[in-house]
């Protein structure tokens, strides 16, 4: 089984070095803060064929995203409060789910992430000098100390734990009321993914697991995670929570599931796959 994540921008192909000038037929994604511009109507889209720099002086930065077939795609950040073109509105990336095709949803997420990368790497993290965009790869370069900075990715594990015909679901204090999800957490320096699964499960619910196997992965821009999904079998122990990372957890049957995450997430993909099996 191949997990095809809704936020995976596989429709884009990166082509370097960047052209000397932005092509006239380029497609544009408008970004403001963490929002993305989208049209109204029966078939909303995030793409504009007009270079926003030609329509407003409020463009703060421009970043190359990749090519869709032969067409280059760019993200342009406009200053907060800048009026959008007629018929356009600003939307959060999550709120675009179901409104635009999945490919556009993924490109919108990428646009927000790459604009944020440019916004937060204007100066070198080692010596403080001004950085410049490299044309040969997606990176920033410091001419003073030669440090190359790449977009930040934070690997995280997420695991579905099954026990006979039950699945372990848990509530984070940050979740809306009644919503339950899977055990997840960031990978720490010096550990591999399997060790991160064992540690994360032990820390959050104090049980042990076995037979860990890979399910799929998903870029997750909230804020800059890369989620690696696993399925594991219960091994031993009783569920014990710390009331910090997890406020409740339990075993649930297929016909008695609580509220679970939206279909946008790899968490839901893991749960749906388990239900279907």
- Residue 209's contacts (CB-CB under 8 Å, 6 or more residues apart) are 159, 161, 197, 198, 201, 232, 233, 234, 235
Residue 5's pLDDT band (cuts 50, 70, 90): confident
What are 221's two structure tokens? 């821009």
- Give 53's pLDDT tier (boundaries 50, 70, 90): confident
Q: What is the pLDDT of residue 1?
A: 53
* Low-confidence winner among 42-56, 100-114, 261-275 (lowest mean pLDDT): 42-56
Structure tokens belonging to residue 11: 């429709």
pLDDT at 38: 97
* Residue 132 included in any domain: no
Do residues 169 and 267 share a domain?
yes
Q: Which residue has the tokens 């015909």?
A: 165
pLDDT band (50, 70, 90) for residue 2: low
In a domain, 258, yes or no: yes
Both 90 and 31 in one domain: the answer is yes
Which residue among 71, 94, 120 closes a domain? Answer: 120
Domain range spanning residue 199?
Answer: 154-276
The pair of structure tokens assigned to 85 is 């073109």
Q: How many structural domains does the chain have?
A: 2
Reported as a pLDDT band with limits 50, 70 and 90, residue 99 is very high
What does the pLDDT look like over 219-235, one tens digit per residue? 998 878 999 999 999 99
Token output for 184: 């997840």
* Cα–Cα distance measured from residue 35 to residue 274, given in angstroms and rounded to the nearest whole number: 33
Residues 174, 243: one domain?
yes
Q: Tell me whether residue 172 is in a domain.
A: yes
**102 part of a folded domain:** yes
In terms of domains, do 259 and 160 share one?
yes
Rounded Cα gap, residues 241 and 33, in angstroms = 36
Per DSSP, 124 falls in state: -
Q: What is the pLDDT of residues 122-181, one digit of tens each?
A: 999 999 999 999 999 999 999 999 999 999 999 999 999 999 999 999 999 999 989 999
Residue 169 lies in a domain: yes
Q: What is the pTM of this model?
A: 0.92
Specify whether the CB–CB gap between 107 and 6 falls below 8 A.
no
248 token code pair: 């409740």
Residues 116 and 160 in one domain: no
Q: What is the pLDDT of residue 187?
A: 98
The dihedral over CA atoms of 113, 116, 120, 124, expressed in degrees to the nearest 10, equals 50
| The last residue of a domain, from among 71, 102, 120 | 120
Task: Please give the Cα distance from 218 to 237 (Å, whole number).
Answer: 30
Give the domain CATH number at 244.
3.90.79.10
Average pLDDT for 82-107: 93
pLDDT-based confidence at 56, cuts 50/70/90?
confident
Question: Could you tell me the sign of the dihedral formed by the alpha carbons of 20, 224, 2, 103, in that order?
Answer: negative
Same domain, 189 and 254: yes
Please indicate, yes or no, whether residues 179 and 235 belong to a single structural domain of this protein.
yes
The mean per-residue pLDDT over the stretch 68-91 comes to 93
CA 68 to chain centre: 20
pLDDT of residue 47: 97
For residue 2, is it within any domain?
no
Residue 168 is encoded by which pair of tokens? 């372990």
Residue 34 CB neighbours (<10 A): 15
Q: Does residue 265 share a domain with residue 168?
A: yes
Give the pLDDT score at 118: 97
In a shared domain, residues 85 and 164:
no
**Predicted confidence band at 102 (pLDDT cuts at 50, 70, 90)?**
very high
User: Same structural domain for residues 164 and 269?
Assistant: yes
**Do 193 and 265 sit in the same domain of this protein?**
yes
Is residue 124 within 8 A of residue 142, CB to CB? The reply is yes
**Distances 276 to 170, 270, 273 between C-alpha atoms, Å:** 20, 10, 5
198 and 87, same structural domain? no
Q: Give the three-state DSSP class for 264.
A: coil
Task: Determine the 3-state secondary structure of 72 from DSSP.
Answer: strand
| Separation between Cα atoms, residue 207 and residue 171, nearest integer Å | 16
Question: Comparing C-alpha atoms, which of 224, 226, 221, 199 is closest to residue 212?
Answer: 199
- DSSP alpha helices (H): ranges in the chain? 102-119, 193-205, 266-276
* pLDDT at res. 97: 94
Domain termination residue (choose one: 99, 120, 141): 120
Look at residue 210 and tell me whether its pLDDT is greater than 70. Answer: yes
Cα–Cα distances in angstroms (integers) from residue 249 to residues 238, 239, 243, in the given order: 11, 7, 10
pLDDT of residue 112: 97
- Let me know if residue 194 belongs to a domain: yes
Q: Residue 3 has what pLDDT?
A: 67
Measure the CA–CA gap between 210 and 238, rounded to whole angstroms.
Answer: 15
Tell me, yes or no, whether 20 lies in a domain.
Answer: no
């Amino acid at each position: 089984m191949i997990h095809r994540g809704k936020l995976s921008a596989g429709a884009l192909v990166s082509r370097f070095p960047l052209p000397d000038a932005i092509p006239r037929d380029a497609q544009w994604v408008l970004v403001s803060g963490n929002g993305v511009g989208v049209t109204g109507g029966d078939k909303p889209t995030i793409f504009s064929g007009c270079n926003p720099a030609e329509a407003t002086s409020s463009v703060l930065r421009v970043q190359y995203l990749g090519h869709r077939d032969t067409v280059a795609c760019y993200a342009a950040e406009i200053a907060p409060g800048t009026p959008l073109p007629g018929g356009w509105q600003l939307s959060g990336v999550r709120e675009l789910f179901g409104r635009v095709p999945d490919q556009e949803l993924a490109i919108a997420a990428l646009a927000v992430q790459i604009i944020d990368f440019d916004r937060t790497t204007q100066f070198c993290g080692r010596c403080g000098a001004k950085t410049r965009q490299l044309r040969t790869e997606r990176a920033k370069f410091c001419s003073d100390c030669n440090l190359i900075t790449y977009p930040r990715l934070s690997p995280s594990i997420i695991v579905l734990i099954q026990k006979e015909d039950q699945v372990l679901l848990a509530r984070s204090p940050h979740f809306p009321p009644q919503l339950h999800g899977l055990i997840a957490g960031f990978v720490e320096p010096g550990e591999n993914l399997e060790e991160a699964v064992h540690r994360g499960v032990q820390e959050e619910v104090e049980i042990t697991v076995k037979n860990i196997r890979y399910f799929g992965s998903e870029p997750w821009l909230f804020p800059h995670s890369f989620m690696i999904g696993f399925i594991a079998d219960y091994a031993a122990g009783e569920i014990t929570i710390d009331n910090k990372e997890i406020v409740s957890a339990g075993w649930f049957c297929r016909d008695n599931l609580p509220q679970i995450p939206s279909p946008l997430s790899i968490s839901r993909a893991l749960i749906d796959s388990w239900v279907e099996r």
